[in-house]
């Protein structure tokens, strides 16, 4: 539809019809479905009344429902304006790949692109027009359950992977039926709640916000994301959905975002609970003033916005701008010509769980897994005849993650299935041993598990968190393995030291006790559809682990939050990080550093950093510094290594991080092979937000390092000069 026709359409609509375009409801209000919802419904209104004017719907099941919803609406809408159909497609639709936090451990933007392409195709076939993805909240506190939904504690990884998802999912032409629009969330600072409790308040300086939290959202906006979702939390005293500085000044003013802003689930109504709105009508006033276009689920706009316009509190011009943004998105998606977009039941049957998609999911699970520890136990030889598979996740199929589609767990490959498919002659004895639920004290199965461990040549000990213990509303105050899992681990490891621990979880855990007794620990996260297949290949060496931690693992919950790129203090604790140093920034009962630092990850081969060289010792702002890292595979297996590049500003007008990841590249090396990995460092990468919130670089000395956080291998110094 041409732009002038959109203008005529808008002019022909009544006030109530305009408001309707800004209203979003659950599909379950119009058709029967089994989709989970993530909060309370708003005020329930007659479905027939809503259906006539409503602008968008979320949480539908499949292409058949997408078509039914669209048909039902178009039959009632006097202007025949199609619905926008939205859905959370966070780490795949039917074929699920690993949770985003795991994908961050791949340090592989290309792999993220492959997974996004798979998700785009399956989502489009389902009838999705908009996905609430990517989620790029910087998260430094593993108590927060939604850390699983972001890629990393590092904004650079979130920026690159988030932008890769946006570019891939949206493509060059949104009207193509296999492309979908992206809604970036949760803007802003949602990943830094007090106490790690979901939905909790966030209070930080503007400089910290701009330095660590805003870059990933901006990267996704710059990549062309068509929608943005404000976060639930209050940011510096103002809930994001009503934060005019955040939405109007920064998002639309500084960044030039012209797309649609959609509230999070019920967030407009929650302004009353926050205490910044007197009532629901007042909440609508505040949200509209901040530029929130769509009210998700609450129905507050439907009930109060027209009245606010009639009384002049909200201008009709502001309403028209919001409605036009929604209509423009529908037009860009080509919905006026084809309201079903890509919804295709035959296509669903063709591509859901197809071999190509399963292969991508398996490879992603392999490259996202992190070998935390290995004292020569792994990989197991394929000549093993009998293994004991022990633990609450030994036969578990719920390994796909919180944001997977209802029933997706049924398609997941279990560990026994993966092992038997790869090694048909292998005898696998399975024992659950105990539960993994918080508060579970039943240890009645441990004796059977110990007996199985004694009988086997080797043990695979599958531990972790139940799938629903990580995700939205799943904050934890204790990061140890829940239930009696440590009792199981102690007993099994005593019975058979040839034991490798497999971890399935959605957040970094406090594994200090387990690390002290387990000879091998392989972090699988929630790997998705091909969980068992990927785990089997990793355990027996058909795949070589190459993942690096995208968030550090604390020694105890008392260290949290524990960002790797922390600021120095005037009294830093001396290195090495051991012992007690009075009157320094340290703990009496624990080292400062995490158990496993950001960027840590082992391999079945051994990589050496031979050299780090700089093309020059001094650069000007218009010049590029070429950094070359020479790395060699000194082991006997082929493998992939992530070369990480860190920066430290030695002296600046404000305190700078002790280390900051500024680039990374993954390389594949055969045994004995050497590669030179080159990075281009520009003046822009040396910039920071100064005390007055100006984005500047300052002349002086900088350190460039490779290795991983807290463990530099090679370091060189260069100088930025403004002369």
Annotation says 710 is catalytic: no
Torsion, CA 112, CA 114, CA 115, CA 117, rounded to 10 = 120
**CA–CA distance, 486 with 514 (Å, rounded to integer):** 7
Say if strands 238-239 and 234-235 run parallel, antiparallel, or are unpaired.
antiparallel
Is the sign of the CA dihedral 120, 126, 131, 133 positive or negative? Answer: negative
Closest CA to 523 of 599, 468, 464: 464
Non-local (6+) Cβ contacts of 495 within 8 A are: 450, 453, 454
Closest CA to 532 of 409, 408, 418: 418
Closest CA to 677 of 688, 666, 692, 661: 666
Q: Which helix (H) or strand (E) holds 663?
A: strand 660-669
Q: How many CB atoms lie within 10 A of CB 363?
A: 20
Q: How many CB atoms lie within 10 A of CB 201?
A: 17
> 398-419 burial string, b = 16+ CB within 10 Å, else e?
bbbbbbbbeebbebbbbbbbbb
CB-count burial class (<10 Å; 0-12, 13-18, 19+) for 498: middle
Phi, psi for 294 (deg, rounded to 5): -120, 130
The secondary structure of residue 247, as a DSSP letter, is: I
611: which strand partners?
630
Which one from 62, 108, 198, 264 is the annotated catalytic residue?
264
Helices 280-289, 300-310: crossing angle, 10 deg rounding: 80
Which residues form the catalytic set?
Answer: 264
């Amino acid at each position: 539809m041409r732009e002038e026709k959109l203008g005529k359409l808008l002019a022909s609509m009544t006030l109530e019809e305009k408001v309707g375009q800004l209203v979003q409801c659950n599909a379950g209000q119009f058709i029967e479905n089994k989709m989970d919802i993530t909060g309370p419904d708003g005020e329930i209104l007659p479905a027939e009344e809503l259906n006539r004017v409503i602008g968008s719907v979320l949480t539908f099941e499949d292409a058949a429902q997408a078509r039914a919803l669209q048909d039902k609406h178009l039959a009632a809408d006097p202007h025949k304006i199609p619905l926008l159909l939205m859905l959370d497609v966070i780490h795949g639709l039917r074929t699920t790949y690993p949770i985003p936090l795991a994908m961050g451990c791949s340090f592989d933007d290309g792999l993220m692109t492959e997974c996004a392409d798979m998700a785009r195709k399956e989502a489009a076939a389902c009838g999705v027009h908009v996905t609430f993805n990517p989620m790029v909240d910087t998260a430094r506190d593993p108590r927060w359950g939604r850390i699983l939904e972001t890629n990393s504690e590092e904004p650079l990884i979130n920026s690159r992977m988030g932008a890769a998802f946006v570019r891939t999912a949206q493509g060059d032409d949104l009207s193509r039926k296999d492309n979908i629009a992206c809604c970036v969330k949760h803007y802003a600072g949602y990943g830094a709640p007090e106490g790690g409790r979901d939905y909790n308040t966030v209070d930080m300086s503007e400089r910290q916000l701009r330095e660590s939290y805003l870059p990933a959202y901006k990267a996704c906006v710059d990549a062309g994301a068509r929608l943005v979702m404000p976060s639930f939390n209050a940011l510096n005293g103002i809930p994001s959905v009503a934060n005019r500085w955040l939405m109007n000044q920064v998002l639309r003013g500084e960044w030039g975002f012209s797309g649609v802003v959609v509230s999070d689930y019920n967030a407009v109504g929650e302004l009353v609970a926050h205490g910044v709105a007197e009532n629901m009508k007042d909440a609508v006033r505040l949200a509209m003033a901040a530029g929130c276009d769509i009210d998700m689920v609450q129905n507050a706009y439907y009930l109060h916005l027209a009245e606010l316009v009639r009384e002049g509190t909200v201008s009709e011009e502001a309403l028209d701008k919001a409605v036009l943004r929604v209509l423009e998105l529908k037009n860009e998606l080509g919905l006026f010509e084809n309201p079903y977009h890509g919804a295709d039941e035959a296509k669903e049957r063709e591509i859901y769980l197809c071999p190509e998609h399963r292969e991508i999911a398996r490879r992603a699970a392999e490259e996202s897994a992190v070998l935390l520890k290995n004292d020569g136990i792994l990989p197991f030889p394929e000549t093993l005849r009998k293994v004991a598979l022990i633990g609450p996740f030994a036969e578990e199929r719920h390994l796909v993650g919180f944001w997977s589609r209802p029933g997706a767990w049924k398609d997941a490959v279990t560990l026994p299935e993966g092992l038997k498919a790869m090694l048909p002659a292998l005898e696998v004895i399975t024992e659950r041993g105990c539960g993994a639920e918080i508060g579970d004290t039943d240890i009645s199965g441990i004796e059977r598990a110990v007996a199985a461990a004694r009988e086997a040549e080797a043990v695979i000990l599958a531990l972790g968190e139940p799938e629903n213990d990580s995700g939205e509303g799943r904050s934890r105050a204790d990061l140890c393995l829940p239930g009696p899992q440590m009792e199981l681990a102690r007993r099994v490891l005593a019975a058979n030291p040839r034991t490798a621990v497999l971890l399935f979880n959605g957040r970094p855990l406090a594994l200090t006790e387990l690390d002290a007794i387990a000879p091998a620990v392989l972090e699988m996260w929630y790997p998705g559809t091909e969980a068992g297949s990927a785990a089997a290949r990793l355990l027996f060496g058909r795949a070589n682990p190459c993942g690096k931690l995208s968030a550090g693992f604390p020694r105890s919950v008392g260290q949290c939050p524990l960002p790797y790129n922390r600021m120095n203090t005037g009294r830093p604790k001396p290195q090495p990080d051991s012992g007690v140093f009075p009157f320094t920034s340290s703990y009496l009962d624990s080292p400062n550093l995490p158990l496993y630092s950001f960027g840590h990850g082992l391999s079945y081969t051994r990589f050496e950093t031979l050299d780090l060289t700089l093309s020059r010792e001094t650069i000007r702002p218009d010049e590029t510094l070429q950094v070359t890292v020479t790395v060699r595979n000194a082991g006997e297996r082929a493998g992939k290594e992530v070369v990480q590049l860190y920066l430290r500003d030695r002296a600046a007008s404000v305190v700078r991080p002790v280390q900051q990841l500024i680039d990374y590249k993954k390389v594949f090396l055969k045994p004995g092979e050497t590669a030179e990995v080159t990075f281009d460092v520009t003046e822009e990468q040396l910039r920071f937000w100064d005390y007055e919130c100006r984005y500047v670089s300052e002349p002086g000395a900088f350190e460039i390092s490779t290795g991983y956080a807290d463990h530099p291998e090679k370091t060189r110094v260069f100088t930025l000069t403004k002369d």
